[in-house]
Homo-oligomer: A and B are copies of this chain.
Amino acid sequence: MTDSVHAADACAPLALPTPYLLFLGDVQHRGYAKTAFGLRDWAGELCIGEFSLPDATVSTGLPSLCLGEAYAQGARGFVIGVASQGGAIQPNWVPTLIAALEQGFDIVSGMHSNYRDIPELADAVARTGRRVIEVRRPPVGLPTGTGAKRTGRRLLTVGTDCALGKKYTALALTRAFRARGVDADFRATGQTGIMIAGSGIPIDAVVSDFVAGAAELLSPDAAADHWDVIEGQGSLYHPAYAGVSLGLLHGSQPDVIVLCHEPGRKTIIGTTDFPIPPLTEAIALNVTLGALTNSGIRCAGVSLNTGGLDDAEAAAAIAAAARETGLPAADPVRGGPDFERLVDACLA
C-alpha cells in the first residue's frame, strides 16, 4: 500500500469563500438549480442573493443582485448553483464568470469541466489573482488513515443504497441537534454538501488509499460533547461503491449510525439483480465493520425517504421500519414526533 511519504504531507479539507452569491445561468427548469435550492434551504445564512442571465425563468426567491451590489454586501463566493448537460461550464456563462473574478469574487464550481480548459477563464484567473475552487477535486497531500481514536462524538449516515437521503438526513439531524442546544457540525463528503457546509472533502474523488485518512481529517478531535454529523456515501451493498462506504465508515469511526432507506425500492440503483438488503441485516453489517475503529458503535435508528408515498403509506412504512428494527424510524422531511424520537436516540 502507499508509502509513508504521502502520510507526512500536511493537508486540510477544502474551505470555501463565503458568503455566497448564487449563479443560476439561464436556467429554465427547477431541477437544474438543485444546488442553488439546496444552499437556500440548508445554508440560507451563507446566501446573500442570486444572479441570473436574462433568459432565466427560475428563481430561488433570494434577492436578485448585480455583482457590485452583492460584493458590497459582503459576498465573496460566486457559486455555480446550476447544473448542465454533462456537467460542463456553458460558453454563455463565461463572460459572467470573468466579470465575477474581476469584481473580486472567487468562483465555486461543482462542474466536471476543468476551468483551465477554458482559456479566457484561465487567463482571467491569472490576471485577477482570484481562484476557481472546484469542489469535485479533493485536496492534495491527504494522509493515509491511522485508526487512532479521536475525541468528541460522531454520527455517520449510512444507506441501504445510494441516492436515498444520507445528506438530507445528516443536515436535518445537525439542525435538530443545534435546536436542542447541542454543539454540532455537519461534515460534508459530496459536492453539494461541501457548498452547504462551506468546507469538506469530496470523498468519492479521493484516491482509494487515502479515503479513510480523508475521513479522519474531516472530523478532527473536538470537545467531548461536540457532535460531528457526517454525510454518508454509497452503501456497503452497492457493487461499485461499497469500498468507498467502508473507508468512510472506518475513518469516521462513528459512535452512532443512522440507516437511510427508501421504502419500496427493490434493487440497488443502476442494477437489476442486487436486492436492497433487509434493514436489520444492513444495520448489523455496518455495526460489525464499523467496530474495527469504534467498538462502541451503535445504530440509533432508521431515516426513511417517503417522498413517493402518501401520508397514510408513509406512516405505515415508518411503523413497519420501527417494528422490524426495534429502533426509532422517521422521515426527516416529514419531521414530527417520530423524528424527535430518532433525535433522542441519537443523543442518548
- Nearest-neighbor residue (CB-CB) of A204 within chain B: B209
Name the B residues within 8 Å of A251 (CB-CB). 239
Contact indicator B87/A3 (Cβ below 8 Å): yes
Knowing A1-B233, A1-B234, A233-B1, say if A242 contacts B212 (CB, 8 Å). yes
Knowing A5-B86, A246-B246, say if A240 contacts B146 (CB, 8 Å). yes
Contact with B along A79-121 (1 / 0, CB 8 A): 0000000110000000000000000000000001000000000
- Nearest-neighbor residue (CB-CB) of A149 within chain B: B273
Q: List which A123-176 residues lie within 8 A (CB) of chain B.
A: 144-147, 162-163
Q: Does A237 lie at the interface of the complex (its beta carbon under 8 Å from any beta carbon of B)?
A: yes
CB distance from A270 to the nearest CB of B (A): 8
Contact indicator B1/A204 (Cβ below 8 Å): yes
Q: List which A202-235 residues lie within 8 A (CB) of chain B.
A: 203-209, 211-213, 233-234
- Nearest-neighbor residue (CB-CB) of A248 within chain B: B243
- Nearest-neighbor residue (CB-CB) of A245 within chain B: B243
Name the B residues within 8 Å of A11 (CB-CB). none
Contact indicator A147/B244 (Cβ below 8 Å): no
Contact indicator A243/B212 (Cβ below 8 Å): yes
Q: Does A247 lie at the interface of the complex (its beta carbon under 8 Å from any beta carbon of B)?
A: yes
The listed residue (B145, B203, B211, B239) touching A212 by CB distance below 8 A is B239
- Nearest-neighbor residue (CB-CB) of A112 within chain B: B5
Q: Does A241 lie at the interface of the complex (its beta carbon under 8 Å from any beta carbon of B)?
A: yes
CB distance from A12 to the nearest CB of B (A): 19
Contact with B along A1-26 (1 / 0, CB 8 A): 11101000000000000000000000
Give Cα A144–Cα B241 distance, bound, in whole angstroms: 8
Name the B residues within 8 Å of A203 (CB-CB). 208
Knowing A1-B233, A112-B3, say if A213 contacts B240 (CB, 8 Å). yes
Give Cα A122–Cα B1 distance, bound, in whole angstroms: 28
Knowing A5-B86, A274-B292, say if A208 contacts B244 (CB, 8 Å). yes
Name the B residues within 8 Å of A206 (CB-CB). 207-208
Contact with B along A187-211 (1 / 0, CB 8 A): 0000000000000000111111101
Knowing A240-B144, A242-B250, A250-B242, say if A162 contacts B1 (CB, 8 Å). yes
Contact indicator A244/B209 (Cβ below 8 Å): yes
Q: Does A293 lie at the interface of the complex (its beta carbon under 8 Å from any beta carbon of B)?
A: yes
Name the B residues within 8 Å of A212 (CB-CB). 239-243
- Nearest-neighbor residue (CB-CB) of A147 within chain B: B239
The listed residue (B163, B250, B270, B273) touching A243 by CB distance below 8 A is B250
Residues on A facing B (Cβ under 8 Å) = 1-3, 5, 86-87, 112, 144-147, 162-163, 203-209, 211-213, 233-234, 236-248, 250-251, 270-271, 273-274, 289, 292-293
**Top 6 closest pairs, chain A to chain B, by CB:** A243-B247, A147-B239, A145-B240, A243-B243, A204-B209, A243-B246
